[in-house]
Structure 1
Amino acid sequence: MTAIKQEDLIQSIADAFQYISFYHPLDYIKALGEAYEREQSPAAKDAIAQILTNSRMAAEGHRPICQDTGIAVVFLKVGMNVTWPDATMSVQDMINEGVRRAYLNPDNPLRASVLADPAGTRKNTKDNTPAVVHYEIVPGDHVEVICAAKGGGSENKSKFYALNPSDSIVDWVLKTVPTMGAGWCPPGILGIGIGGTPEKALLLAKESLMAPVDIHELIDKKKSGAALSRVEALRLELYEKVNALGIGAQGLGGLTTVLDVKIRMYPT
């Protein structure tokens, strides 16, 4: 049995949300840098340069990458052999306390955007709680926590559609992406969930975004002549065709609209 202390989980959540507020993942920065080198449009190249410059300034100054510091999303996998011997709070409450500490940190306060009673008074909770938490009980004696601060620009562009079996996923994506405008701040990563029920498909899409940027590995694999799996081939096809739309960085045109396309599937 592994004992998890309440304070350890709370502080880990707080530290994680502070960390991701001012550090881009290295894989994203590398992919964006490569996109900058490839870009031919002056406007798009300048937009990418501004994103990279802003990222460095945020990292050096420990200040938010974006003024929209997102709604707190936590993916939690709890081992069946884990115990919580000193817990006086539920796991949900522990996570909320961690989010509260992160967003109210006086050294780097983060914008609180969550509204209670969203169909009524729309009153700000003032500490960005409650978090959206997805739980999974798994074998083992560890707790795995993945934190994401999902900005409204990308969240509000989320789309769901129930396709017929004969419909083309590629055609639907290519029809849908141009309707999203530039509010999701491209270049970004496109996450797609296929199968399950409606809520499962949406969860798969969000989970897919937690994986590292690795589309370059698929490009190299295809060039080597190695066979791609069905999902790999679909990812690569969408990556090439979405970028061919010419939406580009911040919607200014250019070669790169997406840095990667992620897909997760579930039987349906």
Structure 2
Amino acid sequence: MTTISQDDLVDSVADALQYIACYHPPDFVRAMARAYERETSVAAKSAIGQILINSRMAAQGHRPMCQDTGVVVVFLKVGMDVHFAGNDTLQEMIDQGVRRAYLNPDNPLRASLVAPPLGARRNTGDNTPAVVHVELVPGDALEVTVAAKGGGSENKARLAMLNPSDDLIQWVTDNLPSMGAGWCPPGILGLGIGGTPEKALLMAKESLMTPIDMDQIIEHGPRDDIEALRLEIFEASNRLGIGAQGLGGLTTVLDVKIKDYPTHA
């Protein structure tokens, strides 16, 4: 049995949110650098260069890399032998961490949430509540994955009920141009396939939490059907020429992630 104190979880969430507001993960920086080197469009190359410069300035100055510091999404994998010491619910503990991070006087983050979603739409003031997903797993460990999803990308989500005979790649390439540049390409596409509607959306979000590895797939070739599909969608998406910040160019997406699940016949 592992006992995790409420304060430790709150501190971990707060620290994670402050960190991800200011630092891009290394895999993203490397992928952007490769895209910069390959780019032939002057405008797109300049846009990618500005993103990389901004990333460095945010890290060095410990300031948010974007004014939109996002809706907090937390994935918890809770071991069956984990016990939480404290009286608050998991939602309440996560929200305490969010509140502490966004109201940090040394580096305040923009609060973007409004409630209710219809009507008055008043800012909640501290970016709570977070969106929390909990999965019980074997063992005595707790895994916490924290994301801050900006509205520019989050509001571009799409859900479709496709027939098995429908062309998924065509569906993706039909939808990408309609999203404009508000999702700040180059980015990463996450797709959830199968299950039920809510399962598909959740899988799409979860898929984005894995490292960028498209260059490895290109180098060694697809090892299974999912990797082959990822590569096909990646190539088809980049052929659209949307490019960095919608300015045209070679790189619209840095990677395509897919999770799937059995579904009704």
2:157 is aligned to 158
One-letter amino acid of the structure 2 residue matched with residue 253 of structure 1:
G
C-alpha displacement of 1:49: 0.4
Deviation sequence 1:46-66 (CA, Å, 0-9, x none) = 000000000000000000010
Match of residue 34 from structure 2: 34
Paired residues, number: 263
Residue 241 of structure 2 is aligned to residue 241 of structure 1: no
Of the three residues 253, 258, 264, the one matched with 1:263 is 258
The structural deviation recorded for 1:91 is: 1.0
- 1:66: which partner in 2? 66
What SS does structure 2 have at the residue aligned with 1:75?
A: strand
| SS of corresponding position for 2:67 | coil
1:251 aligns with 2:250: no
Which residue matches 2:57?
57
Q: C-alpha displacement at 1:228, in angstroms?
A: 2.8
Q: C-alpha displacement at 1:159, in angstroms?
A: 0.4
* Aligned mates of 2:78, 2:123 — CA distance in 1: 30
* Uncovered stretches (5+) of structure 1, i.e. residues with no partner: none
1:144-198 per-residue CA deviation (whole Å, 9 max, x = no partner) reads 0000000000001000000011101111001111111100000000000000110
Write the distance in 1 (CA, Å) between the matches of 2:248 and 2:30: 21
Structure 2 distance, partners of 1:112, 1:138, is 32
Give, in whole Å, the separation in 1 of the partners of 2:158 and 2:65: 25
TM-score for both structures, normalised by structure 1: 0.97
Q: Deviations over 1:195-234 (max 9, x none)?
A: 0110100000000000000001110112xxxx63110000
Match of 1:230 in 2: 225
TM-score by length of 2: 0.98
Q: Does 1:114 align with 2:113?
A: yes
Q: Secondary structure at the match of 2:249?
A: coil
Secondary structure in 1 matching 2:97? helix
Q: 2: distance between equivalents of 1:84 and 1:170?
A: 44
Q: Deviations over 1:82-128 (max 9, x none)?
A: 1123x021111000000000000011100000011111210110000
Partner of 1:88: 87
| In 1, Cα distance between equivalents of 2:190 and 2:94 | 25
**Secondary structure in structure 2 of the residue aligned to 1:146:** strand
Q: Secondary structure at the match of 1:64?
A: coil
- Structure 2 distance, partners of 1:55, 1:19, is 13
2:194 paired with 1:176:
no
How far apart are residue 73 of structure 1 and its match? 0.3
Q: SS at 2:106's partner residue?
A: coil
**CA–CA distance in structure 2, aligned partners of residues 83 and 201 of structure 1:** 30
Q: Could you tell me how far apart the structure 2 residues matched to 1:33 and 1:236 are?
A: 20
Structure 2: runs of 5+ lacking an equivalent: none
Which amino acid in structure 2 is aligned with residue 122 of structure 1?
Answer: R
Quote the Cα distance in structure 1 between the aligned partners of 2:84 and 2:59: 34
Aligned position for 1:105: 104
Identity of aligned residues (%): 67
- The answer to whether structure 1 residue 191 and structure 2 residue 186 are counterparts is no
After TM superposition, what 4+ stretches of structure 1 lie above 3 angstroms from structure 2?
A: none
Q: SS where residue 4 of structure 1 aligns?
A: strand
